[in-house]
């Protein structure tokens, strides 16, 4: 498999604790899924952030919100996704996402 943009991030972050999960994260998730051409990285980031907001996965937002901005999602778009999802995923999930976004910006 070709070297991808984040080949050692997971290994550095948690590979000492869960080496196979780190390997799968680096090679499958970021090495394959995130590199597929059917969706742009910007769109993948927007979808990922929406899923994290809907599921209330605030810890993962710390990684994915800044990455979304790096991938071309604007702050205004993240705010709009949070606002939109307040009505579909629940107010508490949206409020948690707002809190996380404020921390990161």
* Chain segment 63-80, per-residue pLDDT in tens: 999 999 999 999 999 999
Domain ranges of the chain: 1-36, 41-104
For 41-104, CATH gives 1.20.1290.10
The whole-number average pLDDT for the span 84-98 is 97
Q: What is the pLDDT of residue 3?
A: 46
| pLDDT tens sequence across 8-61 | 778 888 888 889 999 999 889 998 999 999 999 999 999 999 999 999 999 999
- What pTM value is reported for the model? 0.86
The token duo for 3 is 């070297």
In the prediction, which pLDDT does 13 show? 83
For residues 16 and 33, what is the distance between their CA atoms, to the nearest angstrom? 23
């Amino acid at each position: 498999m070709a070297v991808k943009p984040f080949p050692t991030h997971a290994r550095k972050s948690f590979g000492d604790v869960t080496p196979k999960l780190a390997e799968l994260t680096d090679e499958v998730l970021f090495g394959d899924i995130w590199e597929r051409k059917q969706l742009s990285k910007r769109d993948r980031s927007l979808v990922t952030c929406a899923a994290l907001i809907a599921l209330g996965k605030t810890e993962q937002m710390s990684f994915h919100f800044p990455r979304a901005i790096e991938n071309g999602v604007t702050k205004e778009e993240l705010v709009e996704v949070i606002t939109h999802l307040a009505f579909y995923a629940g107010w508490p999930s949206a409020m948690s996402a707002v809190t996380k976004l404020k921390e990161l910006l």
